[in-house]
Chain A
Amino acid sequence: MKHAFYYKSKKFLINALIHIFLISVAATCLYPLLWMVASSLKTQDIIFKDISLIPQQLHFENYIFALRGEGFGRGFLNSVFYTALSVFGVVIIASLAGYAFSRLRFPGRTVLFYMFIAAMMIPVPASFVPLYVLLNKLQLRDTPIGYILCMISVGLSVSIFLLKTFFDRIPREIEDAARIDGCSKMGIWRHVALPLAKPVLAVVIVFNALAVWNEYILALIIFDSRKYMPLQVALQVFQGEFVTNYPLLMVGLTIAALPIIVVYLLMQKYIVKGITGSEVFG
Chain B
Amino acid sequence: MRLKETLENYVFVVPAVAIFSVFYIIPFIWVFQLGLFDWDGISFARNFVGLANFKEILLQDRNWWQSMWNASYITLIALTFQNILAFMLAWACDREIRMKNFYRVIFFIPPVLSEIVVGMVWRFIINDIEGANIINRLLAACGFPNLMHHWLSDPKTILTTVALVHCWKGFGWGFLIFLAGLQTIPHQLYEAARIDGANAWHSFKKITIPLMVPIIVLVAILTVLGSMQAFVLIFGLVGGEFAGHTSVPVLRILASMRGSSPRFGYACAQGITLGVVLVIISFIQYRFSKKGH
The 0/1 profile, CB within 8 Å of B marked 1, for residues 266-282 of chain A is 00100111111110011
Q: How far is the CB of B137 from chain A (nearest CB, A)?
A: 11
Q: Assess whether A29 is in contact with B20, with CB atoms less than 8 Å apart.
A: no
Question: Which of A115, A122, A134 makes the CB contact (< 8 A) with B275?
Answer: A122
Please name all residues of chain B whose beta carbon is closer than 8 Å to the beta carbon of A203 when the two chains form the complex: 176-177, 180
The 0/1 profile, CB within 8 Å of B marked 1, for residues 241-282 of chain A is 000000001100100110011001100100111111110011
Q: How far is the CB of A92 from chain B (nearest CB, A)?
A: 8
Task: Confirm or deny: A18 has a beta carbon within 8 angstroms of a beta carbon on chain B.
Answer: yes
Task: Confirm or deny: A36 has a beta carbon within 8 angstroms of a beta carbon on chain B.
Answer: yes
A253 to B23, CA, bound (A): 29
Q: For A28, A99, A199, A253, which residue has the most chain B Cβ atoms within 10 angstroms?
A: A199
Q: How far is the CB of B198 from chain A (nearest CB, A)?
A: 16
Task: Confirm or deny: B103 has a beta carbon within 8 angstroms of a beta carbon on chain A.
Answer: yes
Please name all residues of chain A whose beta carbon is closer than 8 Å to the beta carbon of B109 when the two chains form the complex: 29-30, 32-33, 261
Task: Confirm or deny: A25 has a beta carbon within 8 angstroms of a beta carbon on chain B.
Answer: yes
A172 to B84, CA, bound (A): 31
Please name all residues of chain B whose beta carbon is closer than 8 Å to the beta carbon of A169 when the two chains form the complex: 184, 214
Please name all residues of chain B whose beta carbon is closer than 8 Å to the beta carbon of A22 when the two chains form the complex: 89, 92-93, 103
A282 to B89, CA, bound (A): 30
Q: How far is the CB of A232 from chain B (nearest CB, A)?
A: 8
Q: Assess whether A29 is in contact with B110, with CB atoms less than 8 Å apart.
A: yes
A45 to B104, CA, bound (A): 36
Q: Assess whether A125 is in contact with B9, with CB atoms less than 8 Å apart.
A: no
Q: Assess whether B270 is in contact with A160, with CB atoms less than 8 Å apart.
A: no
Q: Assess whether B114 is in contact with A165, with CB atoms less than 8 Å apart.
A: no
- Chain A residue nearest to B249 in the complex (CB): A123
Please name all residues of chain B whose beta carbon is closer than 8 Å to the beta carbon of A156 when the two chains form the complex: 16, 19-20, 24
Using a CB-CB cutoff of 8 Å, which residues 16-64 of chain A contact chain B?
18-19, 21-22, 25-26, 28-33, 35-36, 48, 51
Task: Confirm or deny: B124 has a beta carbon within 8 angstroms of a beta carbon on chain A.
Answer: yes
The number of chain A residues with a CB under 8 A from chain B is 91
Q: Assess whether A28 is in contact with B168, with CB atoms less than 8 Å apart.
A: yes
- Chain B residue nearest to A92 in the complex (CB): B15
The 0/1 profile, CB within 8 Å of A marked 1, for residues 106-130 of chain B is 1111111110111001101100001
Please name all residues of chain A whose beta carbon is closer than 8 Å to the beta carbon of B103 when the two chains form the complex: 22, 26
Task: Confirm or deny: B282 has a beta carbon within 8 angstroms of a beta carbon on chain A.
Answer: yes
Q: Assess whether B107 is in contact with A26, with CB atoms less than 8 Å apart.
A: yes
Q: Assess whether B112 is in contact with A116, with CB atoms less than 8 Å apart.
A: no
Q: Assess whether B214 is in contact with A253, with CB atoms less than 8 Å apart.
A: no
Interface segment among B25-33, B139-147, B154-162: the answer is: B25-33
Interface segment among A65-73, A75-83, A147-155: the answer is: A147-155
Q: For B101, B106, B214, which residue has the most chain A Cβ atoms within 10 angstroms?
A: B106
Task: Confirm or deny: B151 has a beta carbon within 8 angstroms of a beta carbon on chain A.
Answer: no
Q: How far is the CB of B186 from chain A (nearest CB, A)?
A: 4
Q: For A120, A257, A274, which residue has the most chain B Cβ atoms within 10 angstroms?
A: A120
Task: Confirm or deny: B264 has a beta carbon within 8 angstroms of a beta carbon on chain A.
Answer: yes
Q: Assess whether B187 is in contact with A273, with CB atoms less than 8 Å apart.
A: yes
Task: Confirm or deny: B85 has a beta carbon within 8 angstroms of a beta carbon on chain A.
Answer: yes
Q: Assess whether B125 is in contact with A131, with CB atoms less than 8 Å apart.
A: no
Task: Confirm or deny: B49 has a beta carbon within 8 angstroms of a beta carbon on chain A.
Answer: no
Task: Confirm or deny: A180 has a beta carbon within 8 angstroms of a beta carbon on chain B.
Answer: no
Please name all residues of chain B whose beta carbon is closer than 8 Å to the beta carbon of A220 when the two chains form the complex: none
Please name all residues of chain B whose beta carbon is closer than 8 Å to the beta carbon of A94 when the two chains form the complex: 16
Task: Confirm or deny: A177 has a beta carbon within 8 angstroms of a beta carbon on chain B.
Answer: no
Chain A residues in contact with chain B, CB under 8 A? 15, 18-19, 21-22, 25-26, 28-33, 35-36, 48, 51, 92-94, 96-97, 99-101, 104-107, 112, 115-127, 130-131, 134, 149-150, 152-154, 156, 158, 160-162, 165-166, 168-169, 185, 189, 199-200, 202-203, 206-207, 210, 214, 239, 249-250, 253, 256-257, 260-261, 264-265, 268, 271-278, 281-282
**Interchain Cβ contacts under 8 Å between A and B, 11 examples:** A22-B92, A25-B89, A104-B12, A121-B282, A131-B23, A149-B19, A153-B22, A160-B16, A253-B114, A257-B113, A281-B189
Minimum-distance CB pairs A-B, first 5: A122-B275, A100-B12, A153-B23, A199-B180, A121-B278
